[in-house]
């Protein structure tokens, strides 16, 4: 809860909703007849609409990327570290758009929205969404806002994957693509973790095959397990050791199955608090979008071939202790871009925070990010 | 199912059970008044009882380490690769003892055994068991078999931890200690994975606070999840990639939550088949024994101090792609032994199989293991 708003904060923000009534054809073969997209903007769109930045969110993210909704808020948006006056995504220069993706649970149409055909929540009938579908829906939001070319599209983790997809699908519609802690596709191990998370949710007796809304319950235990497991993959072994070591919560072993080690207490807390703010069907959809992301697949598993037509300049950032999407995964992207003689900057940041590093104020990371953003040319800028 | 028994196989074996009626005081403060230990032996005990080898099993292991129970068996014991005539643990030279640990579910007294005080299964009332308790119970089994000093005590993973505990608690009672793919204690990340597995089991509505036997159900989904998660940590990322890549089970994406990728199919199969052969309460106990293992703790977190009194010679083996108990964890043990000027051989085996490598016929591993075992002196050997 901020007592006063710091001068590098975007301040109090209000989300907006746009209703789209043009049907959206999806990768899965189905069509969404109409849908809402909720979004926030920070900064001002310049006269020739050349300073717009699109933020794509990760698995459990949403449109609230920066600022506060009220002075009573305990926390700012999820990427407040990087968005604001004088921050890497400098709202003195850029007009920033951050949306909740389709299939989400924070206001954009998703499984917990009312299906106009049935007047009941979509639940499991909500179509599977891919990164490509998201990019298409984001392009439509750009149209609504009068943005025909983004100065940059960017994101971390699954957000970085969307940025890559943008560069591939709409090469002329972005000048810069920034993918942080991302990967060109998931490994079998990544998919395996997602599958365990999904099984945890789908096996919860309160899941009711995804129709839990009508039973007035949520698959609490399953979603909690999924989040606990996710958290392990977001942190590095070293970060966990530094944060918790093998500290005992009450100073001594008590030989039982209650919480004993600090790390258990932390994970259970993370799991429990997530359940109250996230929808299980959305979690399932997001993990599937991750599993399916694989732009090289259509090009004979040749990532360079998938990137031949991109026009954007790239910044790729990875973190040394990220074992979910390790630096090697980012280097695959860099190599494929270089194979095409594309312009790419790459930074491998020494950090012990693991995958979550992309959300943290790590000085080297912030400096690199800021330097890259500062050199982005804004046509018409005074 | 063997058509004929290979000459390097120990052949058909029969487990034996010993009933102990001397109470066993446990680390947790409780006492087991009486208990059974089931075990198998391979090879022959020599005249002066100097050729005995004790095998300690890992989390989901048991006493059936080698050979077959019948010619109809589909698989031999879990470490048949390493135990038999001419194999590293050469039954032409050694008398091998392999037991099911206390708290197990394969014949030794554990949560699914009848508690003589209540005439019902122990269930959650079975006491928490530590590696030290196991070692104590194994020493008693040695007494029964007339073995006052083991030529070697050895094991992989949690089995290697028991071997270390033997060297610390009974220094005069073993000449060699062999710990493969082990660690001196769990990291916060290791504990975190165990905690998610436990939560999966304990949150299963069929768990009934551990009393599921009397409801004639088992916490099937929870135990399945725990095993799926375990499997991810047993395999390396590379091994998963080589085994499954991102292969689709039916050749194409079908946009749904059924099994799509081969790795999902594999994990679900592993989870399901485990449920039918393992007890959930035992799984909980085993993960706790892992969490608690930390011989340095009593010595101010100084592992070297914990190892000052060991007399055994050591072989420590690790595998490069093991990220559950990485080579760095084995090197901690090696360093602590060297700090004490103890005799230790260390082999870091290049292998892509991950933690599971210790069960596999990797040529370099087998050669190192065999060479070490061959130089073990057996007093009285002709």
Q: Closest partner residue to B228 among A27, A199, A323, by Cβ?
A: A199
Q: Closest partner residue to A232 among B189, B241, B291, by Cβ?
A: B189
Burial tier of B161 (Cβ tally within 10 Å: 0-12, 13-18, 19+): buried
8 Å CB contact between A320 and A349: yes
The Cα B152–Cα B67 span in angstroms is 20
Q: What's the mean pLDDT when you consider all of chain A? A: 96
Q: Indicate whether B2 pLDDT > 80.
A: no
DSSP per residue, A234-269: HS-HHHHHHHHTT-BTTSS--SSSS--BHHHHHHHH
- Please list, residue by residue across A134-163, b when 16 or more beta carbons sit within 10 angstroms of its beta carbon and e when fewer do: bbbbbbbbbeebebeebbbbbbbbbbbbbb
Task: Scan for tokens 């109250």, then name that residue.
Answer: A276
Q: Mapping DSSP to helix (H, G, I), strand (E, B) and coil, where does residue B33 land?
A: coil
- pLDDT value at position A4? 83
Residues B115-151: tens digit of each pLDDT: 999 999 999 999 999 999 999 999 999 999 999 999 9
Residue of B128, B130, B196, B281 to mutate, testing the A interface (most A Cβ within 10 Å of its Cβ): B196
Are A192 and B240 within 8 A, CB to CB? yes
CA distance B28 to chain A (A): 6
B190 → chain A, closest CA residue: A237
| E-state strands within chain B | 16-20, 24-25, 31-32, 35-42, 52-56, 83-84, 89-90, 95-99, 114-115, 120-121, 150-156, 174-180, 313-319, 344-349
The Cα B104–Cα B111 span in angstroms is 8
B229 → chain A, closest CA residue: A196
Are B225 and A228 within 8 A, CB to CB? no
8 Å CB contact between A209 and A124: yes
Are B192 and A267 within 8 A, CB to CB? yes
- A117 C-beta neighbours (distance < 10 Å), count: 9
**If we measure between CA atoms, which residue out of A154, A180, A157, A182 comes closest to residue A167?**
A154
- pLDDT value at position A87? 98
A157: annotated active-site residue: yes
8 Å CB contact between B224 and B125: no
Rounded to whole angstroms, the maximal C-alpha distance in chain A is 68
- A197 Cα distance to chain centroid: 18
The Cα A133–Cα A135 span in angstroms is 5
Taking contacts as CB-CB distances below 8 angstroms, the residues of chain B near A124 are: 257
User: pLDDT-derived band of residue B248, with 50, 70 and 90 as boundaries?
Assistant: confident
Residue of B130, B192, B222, B272 to mutate, testing the A interface (most A Cβ within 10 Å of its Cβ): B192
Q: What's the mean pLDDT when you consider all of chain B? A: 96
| E-state strands within B143-260 | 150-156, 174-180
Average pLDDT over residues A235-247: 90
Task: Please report which helix (H) or strand (E) contains residue B367, including its range.
Answer: helix B363-374
**For B96, phi and psi rounded to 5 degrees?**
-105, 130
Are A284 and B196 within 8 A, CB to CB? no
Task: Please report which helix (H) or strand (E) contains residue A177, including its range.
Answer: strand A176-180
Q: Mapping DSSP to helix (H, G, I), strand (E, B) and coil, where does residue A179 land?
A: strand
Q: Indicate whether A2 pLDDT > 80.
A: no
- B182 C-beta neighbours (distance < 10 Å), count: 26
8 Å CB contact between A36 and A140: no
Average pLDDT over residues B68-86: 96
Q: Mapping DSSP to helix (H, G, I), strand (E, B) and coil, where does residue B18 land?
A: strand
Are A187 and B232 within 8 A, CB to CB? no
CA distance B199 to chain A (A): 7
Are A195 and B263 within 8 A, CB to CB? yes
Provide the annotated active-site residues of B: 157, 322, 355
Tokens of B204: 């299963």
8 Å CB contact between A150 and A96: no
- What domains are there in chain A, each with its CATH number? 16-185+294-375 (3.40.50.1820), 190-288 (1.10.1740.110)
Average pLDDT over residues A44-54: 97
CA distance B163 to chain A (A): 22
The Cα A193–Cα A325 span in angstroms is 13
Active site residue: A60, A157, A318, A330, which one? A157
Q: Is A356 annotated as a binding residue?
A: yes
**For A212, phi and psi rounded to 5 degrees?**
-65, -25
Average pLDDT over residues A238-261: 87
8 Å CB contact between A81 and A49: no
Burial tier of A297 (Cβ tally within 10 Å: 0-12, 13-18, 19+): middle
The Cα B1–Cα B91 span in angstroms is 22
Tokens of A290: 């991750």
8 Å CB contact between A261 and A247: yes
The Cα A245–Cα B45 span in angstroms is 45
Residues B29-41: tens digit of each pLDDT: 999 999 999 999 9
**If we measure between CA atoms, which residue out of A26, A265, A23, A43 comes closest to residue A151?**
A43
The Cα B204–Cα B211 span in angstroms is 12
Q: Closest partner residue to B255 among A128, A198, A257, by Cβ?
A: A128
pLDDT over 70 percentage in chain B: 100
Residues B323-363: tens digit of each pLDDT: 999 999 999 999 999 999 999 999 999 999 999 999 999 99
| E-state strands within B157-200 | 174-180
B234 → chain A, closest CA residue: A189
> CA angle B83-B84-B87, nearest 5°?
75
Taking contacts as CB-CB distances below 8 angstroms, the residues of chain A near B189 are: 232, 235, 237, 240-241
B281 → chain A, closest CA residue: A257
- pLDDT value at position A250? 83
B292 → chain A, closest CA residue: A253
Task: Please state whether beta strands B31-32 and B24-25 pair in parallel, antiparallel, or not at all (unpaired).
Answer: antiparallel
Residues B220-239: tens digit of each pLDDT: 999 999 999 999 999 999 99
- pLDDT value at position B3? 79
Q: Which residues contact B237 (CB under 8 A, 6 or more apart)?
A: A187, A188, A189, B321, B323
Interface A–B counts its CB contacts (< 8 A) at: 145
- Please list, residue by residue across B64-95, b when 16 or more beta carbons sit within 10 angstroms of its beta carbon and e when fewer do: bbbbbeeeeeeebbbbbbbbbbebbbbbebbb
User: pLDDT-derived band of residue A94, with 50, 70 and 90 as boundaries?
Assistant: very high
Active site residue: A204, A322, A326, A330, which one? A322
Q: Mapping DSSP to helix (H, G, I), strand (E, B) and coil, where does residue A206 land?
A: helix
CA distance B236 to chain A (A): 8
CA distance B187 to chain A (A): 7
Q: Is A227 annotated as a binding residue?
A: yes
**If we measure between CA atoms, which residue out of A365, A296, A373 comes closest to residue A327?**
A365
The Cα B348–Cα B354 span in angstroms is 12
- pLDDT value at position A327? 98
Q: Indicate whether A1 pLDDT > 70.
A: no
């Amino acid at each position: 809860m901020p007592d006063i708003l710091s001068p590098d904060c975007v301040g109090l923000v209000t989300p907006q909703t746009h209703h789209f009534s043009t049907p959206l054809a999806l990768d899965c073969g189905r069509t969404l007849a109409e849908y809402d997209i909720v979004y926030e903007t920070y900064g001002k769109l310049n006269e020739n609409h050349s300073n717009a930045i699109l933020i794509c969110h990760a698995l459990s993210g949403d449109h609230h990327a920066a600022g506060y909704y009220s002075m009573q808020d305990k926390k700012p948006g999820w990427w407040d570290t990087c968005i604001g006056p004088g921050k890497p995504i400098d709202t003195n220069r850029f007009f920033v758009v951050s949306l909740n993706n389709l299939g989400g649970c924070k206001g954009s149409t998703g499984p917990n929205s009312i299906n106009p055909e049935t007047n009941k929540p979509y639940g499991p009938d909500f179509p599977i969404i891919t990164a490509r579908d998201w990019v298409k829906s984001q392009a439509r939001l750009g149209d609504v806002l009068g943005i025909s070319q983004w100065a940059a599209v960017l994101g971390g983790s699954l957000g970085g994957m969307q940025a890559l997809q943008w560069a591939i699908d709409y090469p002329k519609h972005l000048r810069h693509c920034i993918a942080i802690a991302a990967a060109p596709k998931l490994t079998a191990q990544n998919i395996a973790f997602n599958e365990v998370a999904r099984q945890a949710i789908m096996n919860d007796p309160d899941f009711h095959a995804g129709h839990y809304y009508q039973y007035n319950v949520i698959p609490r235990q399953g979603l909690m397990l999924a989040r606990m497991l996710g958290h392990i993959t977001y942190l590095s072994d070293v970060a966990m050791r530094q944060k918790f070591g093998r500290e005992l919560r009450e100073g001594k072993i008590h030989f039982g199955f209650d919480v004993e080690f600090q790390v258990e207490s932390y994970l259970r807390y993370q799991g429990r608090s997530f359940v109250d703010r996230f929808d299980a069907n959305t979690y399932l959809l997001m993990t599937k979008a991750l599993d399916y992301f694989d732009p090289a697949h259509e090009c004979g598993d040749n990532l360079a071939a998938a990137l031949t037509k991109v026009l954007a300049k790239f910044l790729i950032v990875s973190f040394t202790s990220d074992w979910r999407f390790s630096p090697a995964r980012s280097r695959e992207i860099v190599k494929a871009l270089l194979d095409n003689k594309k312009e790419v900057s790459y930074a491998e940041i020494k950090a012990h925070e693991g995958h979550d590093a992309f959300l943290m104020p790590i000085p080297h990371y912030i400096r690199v990010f800021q330097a890259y953003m500062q050199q982005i040319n804004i046509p018409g800028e005074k």
